[in-house]
Every structure is written in structure tokens, then in C-alpha cells.
Structure 1
């Protein structure tokens, strides 16, 4: 199946889902809600507990959940779960750490056009490649989680052997449990799932996710809880690689955020410092430029970064709690369109340097045995007057204070 653009890809998904006849997923019904179990591989594998609904569809009022296995190329076998609530549609990838491939609000697709023809099945992504860059072979989601042991640049030991690959492993690990609840009274779909990142004699981390889509608002919100299942203390990292291309990104697009402090990641980003919040047209051969920052949260403890389209009439707002995601990375990849013209809004527990550097700076999350940490985020599509209203709320969090802009990389922020 060849993909042309995001809208065509979604229309294909709708068509396949409408016309496919397949067994129904296991469902539990009440008067106003219905819970569908899509994956349950918990417990003893020999007991036959694993169950998966492939190619099923389940609806309740304006709410629908559909599943399909993709065919062809490197996407062969990837499970897509499509959540439809009113005019909002979300495609979740259980095989890729419950990442979000695209969000659609009406005809608007939130995501980007990667040169990688995805979603790519994890078996085709060489995470252990000696360069440490194998992660990039599968990168094309709107939301890709980075972690859980490591979330930044490749990390090598003194002999040059790879210790941690780029952005970690969680985005290429499959969910072992997944259920979806449709609540017609509230007008919401709630997806819950779990993914393990475990290695014998090393680490045992469990990520459980609760994601909600509202039929009455073009907003997707989720909470990830990461638990240390080991009897030993552990440390972890998390970064959310949230990526936008056209139609929101283009010449004249801007990022609105209440920045407290910002510094270029490296020398390549220094020339972009005065225009850190502005975007230009795709330029073939232009390298990526990255800025590290801390944002000022609003009174509710949440920070928001909003990407505003060139015509100022459309935007995507990303918000998160800063008590557990205190650091912010802005990734500007403004090369040629065919090479991936994209902006990344990336809240994290740390900056995406190598784990060893971040650990030396105290930017890892300690977890006692059975201790958990939670991360709350949301993405909302905004249009018309809602864009200006959100801009005012973001600027109010800054209280009129200009950001501190460092002319060079901070040595304690950049490796």
C-alpha cells in the first residue's frame, strides 16, 4: 500500500475499516459505555491469555474504535488502532510503544511527512546498529516517546561500544495490554495500555498509558505512569518527540511559549538564536537547529507551546505538567520538503544529550522499588479566535518578563 499524503492515507484507512469483515473484539457493555479489550497478553502465555482484535470495528453513538493490520513494505504487520470521537480522529500504534501516528481534526492532519514510509514495524529498525542512529529508520510519528532508560543522543563507553542508542527503546516495544472504553454520555473514548521495558539483571520498567479523546473538543490528552518493578532502585528518562509539518509549518509560522531561559544546543544553532521562535520555507541542505529551554508554567502548573500557522488562523497547542517534565527542546529541521520539513516540540525530564552526560548533571529520574512517576500531556487543534485566546493565556504565564537568551550553548546543558 503506497502512501501519497496524510489525508489520502487516512481515507484509505477509513475505507478499509468500513469494508472489512472481521471478528469483534471482546466487549463489556453498560447502558452508556462499552469497554473493548484489544490486547491482553498478561500472565502465562501458555494459558492462552493473549487476545487481539485484528480488523474489528466497534461504535457507540458518535464514538468508534477500529483496528487493522497494515500490509506491504516495512509497515507489514503493524497494528493501527483508530479512535474516532466526533470530528477528531487519532491513530495509535500499539506495536510502536503506543505512539500517535497522526491526529486529524476534520480535514486537518497533525503530523509530518517523513521520508520514511511508515509506520515501520519495529523488526525493521536496527536499534543496536553500531552508529547508534538506527532509531531514525522508523521515525515518522506525530508523537514518539523517547526513553525509558535513555532518551537522548547515542551513548558510547570508553572503548567506543554503543551503550544506549538514539532516543532509547520504548518507541519500538509492543503493548502487552490494551483496552478502549467508549462513553456515550461523556462523549469520550479512553484508551488504556501497558508497555514493558525490561532486561534481566538490568532494569524492569513498566509504562501504563491512559489516553482520552473528546467528541466535543479537538483535544487529545494522556497520562503515562512509569513504574520501577524491580526490587532495586532505578533511574529513568522520558522525552516526548512531538512533530509537526505543513500545513501548520511554513514560512512565517511561529512558536508561542513563555520561555524563561533558552540556549542554542550547539554552534550550528547560534545563528538562529534571534529567530528561535520563527520558521522559514524549506531549504534544501539546511541542517537542523536545536534550542534548549525552560518554560514558565501557568498557575495550574502546566506549560504550553503553540505552533501557529503562517496565516495565524490555525495552531496546535502542546501542554504538559512541568513538575515532572521540567525541560524543553525545540527542534527545527528546515531542510528540503523531501528530506523531512518538520518542527519538534519536545518536553522532557532532561535535555536529549547522551545519558552519561545527563546523569552527570543530575537529570535522571530516580525511582525506588515499585515507585512510579507520571507525565501528563495534551495536544489541541485550535482555529480562528481560539488561536488568539491561547496566545494570550501563554503570554500571561510569562507575566511580561522577557526570556533570558544565552548567546552560546550552556556547558551544563549541552554535551
Structure 2
């Protein structure tokens, strides 16, 4: 789309791309609002407006980028404050947002009970605006903005305003979030962007790209993969040890460039495409790599966050838990770009080239 000659050859911008909203009418997601965003480059993706505007399906040309769980899209459920109920409606998808006040496993302490990964992904959005591209006026950008409230009487009351945007002719997804404490008392805050990548982008030989010292999560079979001397940055064939709940997780202290930007992603040399993820260290200092190589559940997560998924109680104990004062806000921006030109991919690989960094002491 470098040439603008096509501007005079279309009547309706939807011929090239744009945003289309609709409502699912079948299955567990019946009645759930969605929006398809088409960038006109082969990159198209589906927002689930009733699930925090998270991203479900995502494709580049014929290739799926995201992992989708058995459940598919379900309607939002209010039961996520306890135990592992969050998993019942975990669609996977390209993005599931975790938080806004707890990221990690189920827990209970003097401050309350919290279920796996918090409530925000089960909260519908109030859509505030949709802006379509209009090539005839030279407008190629498009965006959709919505607002979600994670709230209860007497607090905490955290408001998430999310804008998802793209540009015609660019295979890029931009996510810009603003979290505000609307209560009159301080509120604990944690957020994690649970990006879930699947086949065929993720396949045997796909390279996982990130930079920084790492630490295997305690417990489980994490040491099977995340150990010195093992190539945990190359995706393996499905593993019998990952049947059921088998998984491996590493917490990464992401390394920024001189401008404070961190970069991560994946590269599939067979398909000749890569996905680059960019975010600011000052906003999201941690990165989690989740590897679950189960048969029929073959997925890896690359997840920038304010904290590792250790839970509110542990973060409070470590004195790293964020507290937002009444009216205080924090902003977060994450960008995903599909790379298909060899020189772009080489730049990404060179940016993240490194000898194996040792585990965090």
C-alpha cells in the first residue's frame, strides 16, 4: 500500500479493511459482542468486546497466530473470584488480560480471597468510540475504545479504558490501556498481558525471542525446560510430560534498549514470518514465558506485566505491590507487528541475539 493509486479505485473503505462489529449467535458465546479488525495486509483479528476487549482469533494471511482453547469464546462469567474457575472460560486467544488487582494463582489472606488471574477478562466493555479508516480523506488509522469497571461497593474500583488501533497497510496491533482508581481509598494493582501463540506460528523449530536474566518458577516440572544448557528458546514437538497440567514457566527481567523499550517475539523460519512485541520497561518491567507443549494443547505465552504472576499476597510481602491513590492512573502500551520481509526479521533477530543469560540469582 505504499502507492496511493488505490485510493481512487474503491468506493467503500471496507473493500480494503476496517472494523466490523457483530454479535455471536451460537454456542457458549451466544450473545457476546465482537469486532473484527482488518488491516488490509493479511493481518486480521477479532476483539471480544464483552471480555475486556481481549483478542481471540488472529490471522496473518492463511496462518493462525493465536492458540484457542477447547472452550472457544464464552460469555463473561462472574465466578472468577475463587479458585481456578477462571480456567473454565479461558479461551486462550491472542490476548487475555489478567488483573487488575491480582495476577497469579488462587490465594486467600487477611485482605480477602482472590481467584486465578483476577476478574478483568470477564468484564464487558462500554464502547465509547469507533473510528473507521477513510482513505478518500487520507485517513488510514482505525481504532475502537471501550471502558471496563472492576468494582464493588466500598472499593476497590479500578477503571480500565482500552484503545485497540491499527492502520491500513500496516500489519500492526496497538493496545493502549489507562487504569484509574475511581474509589476514595488506595487500591492494589497488578496487570499481565497473557499473549497466547499457537500453531502454525508456533511449531517445532519456532524460535522464542526475548532478552534478560530469567528464573524458573518454583515447583512443578519447570526445571525440565528452564535450566542452563537446555535450548528452551526453540519450540519442541508435543511432550508427554506436558499432558494435563504439565507446563514450564520462567520469569524474565526484560532487558530494555537505550530508549527504555523492551522487545520480544517469535520467529518461524519455515513460514518465514515473525511476530515482534514491544513495550516499555518503565510500564511493564517483567516478562513471563509460559510453555505448555501438550498434545492438542500446544501453546506458548509471552506475557509482559507489572509483576511476575506471583499473586497479590506475595507482591505485598515483597513490597512490590502497586497501590493507586484515589484518582491516580497508570498507562500501558503494547504493540505487536508481523514481520515478513527478511531484512525486518534479521533486525529483530540481531536485536535479541545473545548468549544464554544465567538464571536470576
TM-score by length of 1: 0.77
Match in the other structure for 1:53: none
Alignment of 1:377 with 2:331, yes or no, is no
CA distance in 1, matches of 2:112, 2:201: 37
Match in the other structure for 2:51: 96
SS in structure 2 of the partner of residue 95 of structure 1: coil
Cα separation, partners in 2 of 1:105 and 1:186, compared to 1, 3 Å: farther
Alignment of 1:278 with 2:234, yes or no, is yes
Deviation at 1:300, TM superposition (A): 2.5
Residues 150-299 of structure 1 mapped to structure 2, 5 A cutoff: 150-157=102-109, 163-184=113-134, 185-259=138-212, 261-267=213-219, 268-272=221-225, 273=227, 274-286=230-242, 287-299=246-258
Match of 1:82 among 36, 39, 62: 36
Cα separation, partners in 2 of 1:313 and 1:377, compared to 1, 3 Å: same
Deviation at 1:162, TM superposition (A): 7.3
CA distance in 1, matches of 2:29, 2:271: 35
CA distance in 2, matches of 1:107, 1:311: 14
Contact 1:60 1:182 in 2 (8 A): no
TM-score by length of 2: 0.88
Contact 1:85 1:188 in 2 (8 A): no
Contact 1:113 1:341 in 2 (8 A): no
Residues 349-368 of structure 1 mapped to structure 2, 5 A cutoff: 349-368=306-325
Contact 2:81 2:116 in 1 (8 A): no
Match in the other structure for 1:71: 25
Deviation at 1:381, TM superposition (A): 1.2
CA distance in 2, matches of 1:401, 1:162: 43
Deviation at 1:60, TM superposition (A): 5.8
CA distance in 2, matches of 1:290, 1:402: 17
Cα separation, partners in 2 of 1:182 and 1:248, compared to 1, 3 Å: same
Task: For residues 214-252 of structure 1, give each alpha carbon's deviation from its aligned partner in whole angstroms, at most 9, with x where no partner exists.
Answer: 112111011101001122222211000000011111111
CA distance in 1, matches of 2:30, 2:112: 29
Contact 2:155 2:183 in 1 (8 A): no
Task: For residues 266-295 of structure 1, give each alpha carbon's deviation from its aligned partner in whole angstroms, at most 9, with x where no partner exists.
Answer: 241112122221211112452100011111
Contact 2:130 2:143 in 1 (8 A): yes
Alignment of 1:136 with 2:87, yes or no, is yes
Any gaps of 5 or more consecutive residues in structure 2?
Answer: 1-6
CA distance in 1, matches of 2:248, 2:120: 25
Task: For residues 337-364 of structure 1, give each alpha carbon's deviation from its aligned partner in whole angstroms, at most 9, with x where no partner exists.
Answer: 2xx2100001111011221012211232
Match of 1:149 among 86, 94, 101: 101
Task: For residues 94-130 of structure 1, give each alpha carbon's deviation from its aligned partner in whole angstroms, at most 9, with x where no partner exists.
Answer: 10011011222222222113122x211113x74245x
Alpha-carbon RMSD:
2.1
Contact 1:191 1:211 in 2 (8 A): yes
CA distance in 1, matches of 2:254, 2:333: 16
Contact 2:79 2:85 in 1 (8 A): yes
CA distance in 2, matches of 1:292, 1:206: 27
Cα separation, partners in 2 of 1:70 and 1:285, compared to 1, 3 Å: farther
Match in the other structure for 1:19: none
Cα separation, partners in 2 of 1:109 and 1:401, compared to 1, 3 Å: closer
Q: Give the number of equivalent residue pairs.
A: 338
CA distance in 2, matches of 1:318, 1:146: 18
* Runs of 4+ with deviation above 6 angstroms: none
Alignment of 1:342 with 2:299, yes or no, is yes
Deviation at 1:310, TM superposition (A): 5.0
Contact 1:146 1:171 in 2 (8 A): yes
Match in the other structure for 2:346: 388
Match in the other structure for 2:62: 107
Match in the other structure for 1:309: 268
CA distance in 1, matches of 2:218, 2:317: 19
Deviation at 1:77, TM superposition (A): 0.9
CA distance in 1, matches of 2:47, 2:331: 20
